[in-house]
Amino acid sequence: MEPPTRYEGPALGLFRIVIGLLFACHGAATLFHVLGGPQGGHSPSPGQWPGWWAAVIQLAGGALVLLGVFTRPAAILCSGSMAYAYFVHHQPDGLFPLENGGETAALFCWAFLLIAALGPGRWPLTELPALVTHRKQLTRREVSDRSST
């Protein structure tokens, strides 16, 4: 028996929203000392490689994925940045993420790769104009049906 497909879009949409929000929070914490501040204890100076740029990618890419705007390209960029973080900063300290502290980087990398492959799911901001147009058409039909009776 196959699982019902009616939940795929909403489940993927919720997954995209949560992953985007969490990733954007990491970037905001690093850049603006909010939400507990940066994980390393200090913020990188503007333009500093790779810390500042990683935080900008986290904030901007996470926000784009959260909103469902340019979802696939943003997810590819976010996934790549986490692959870089894992292989350059974590993997030299041990083979497995549990050994080297890279669980978060590995999970974000694979989560964004999944979003890039499957798309935004339900409720992306890009659907809003179509939703508004659809609602206007429904309202016009209801008004027209009432006036013809």
Residue with structure tokens 């489940």? 11
Which of the four pLDDT bands, split at 50, 70 and 90, describes residue 62? very high
Nearest CA to 114 out of 20, 40, 3, 1 is that of 20
CA distance 57 to 23: 9
CA distance 135 to 139: 6
Percent of the chain with pLDDT over 90: 64
**Cβ atoms within 10 Å, residue 66:** 22
Calculate mean pLDDT across residues 105-121.
97
Query: In the prediction, which pLDDT does 6 show?
Result: 86
pTM over 0.85: no
Query: In the prediction, which pLDDT does 40 show?
Result: 65
